[in-house]
Structure 1
Amino acid sequence: MSPCLAVLTLALYFYHSVGFNWATFFIFFLVPDLSLLGYIFGNKVGATTYNSAHSYIGPVIVFALFVHSANELWQIIGLVWAAHIGFDRALGYGLKYGKGFCNTHLGTIGTKRDR
């Protein structure tokens, strides 16, 4: 199993085992993709906003907040966020380079791959 699928699977497992609401999970699963709006302002801004929302640093910080405060909201956010990143990486959507959306640390994606 790839590390990306492992992150996705573990996040789903822990979300289920704690008994959180699945409607909440599905409502917020795509929220990190709002970072794509940064591409309105150009490739460099878009890459920065996308990478900020799709780096594992964010969920790690959120989990630290959960450990410190024991507020389950932080746990929900961290699990959904980690699951989203694992899902995206499993589909080949890596962190972006400033050259454009299709240029990622995992390689070129989309129709530009053939060029």
Structure 2
Amino acid sequence: MKNLLRLEELLQFILAIFLFNQLSYPGWLYLAFFLAPDLGMVGYLVNPKIGALLYNLFHHKGIAIALYLLGLSTDIPELLFAGLLLFGHSSFDRIFGYGLKYPDNFKNTHLGWIGKSSS
């Protein structure tokens, strides 16, 4: 099941790249901003609860899709870009087991504990 979920995330990541290539932005721009959603981790400097809130805000695929759809409906390419960036980044993270965070610990995610073997 774990590999099936990783494959699904990989395909979603590829979809984000495909859709980004339909925009008029150069490809290097996607790469330049690819790690930007991880700035949400700065909240962990305050405490784990704020950290999880900010991290999840920048890694929630529902928010990414909402931004993309808002960009489509308003013809604002920056929103399309932001939505695809968040969606692609979140998919990429989840390929490697980094999911949405619980407020108790950075390593506790909706995909399980980071670094712990599932066996």
**What secondary structure, in the 3-state scheme, does the structure 2 residue paired with 1:98 have?**
coil
The answer for unaligned runs of 5 or more in structure 2 is none
Kindly provide the CA deviation profile for residues 13-52 of structure 1, in whole angstroms up to 9, marking residues without a partner as x: 1212445311110111111000000001111111111111
Superposed, which structure 2 residues align to 1:25-104 within 5 Å? 25-104=30-109
CA distance in 2, matches of 1:14, 1:67: 12
Aligned length: 112
CA distance in 2, matches of 1:61, 1:14: 15
Q: Is the 8 A contact 2:101 2:107 kept in 1?
A: yes
Amino acid at match of 2:105: G
Q: Is the 8 A contact 2:69 2:80 kept in 1?
A: no
More strand by percentage: 1
Greater shift in the superposed pair: 1-10 or 30-39:
1-10
Q: What's the Cα RMSD here?
A: 1.5
User: 1:20: which partner in 2?
Assistant: 25
User: 2:9: which partner in 1?
Assistant: 4
The answer for unaligned runs of 5 or more in structure 1 is none
Amino acid at match of 1:100: N
Q: TM-score, normalised by structure 1?
A: 0.88
Q: TM-score, normalised by structure 2?
A: 0.85
Kindly provide the CA deviation profile for residues 49-74 of structure 1, in whole angstroms up to 9, marking residues without a partner as x: 11111111221221122122112222
CA distance in 1, matches of 2:76, 2:58: 21
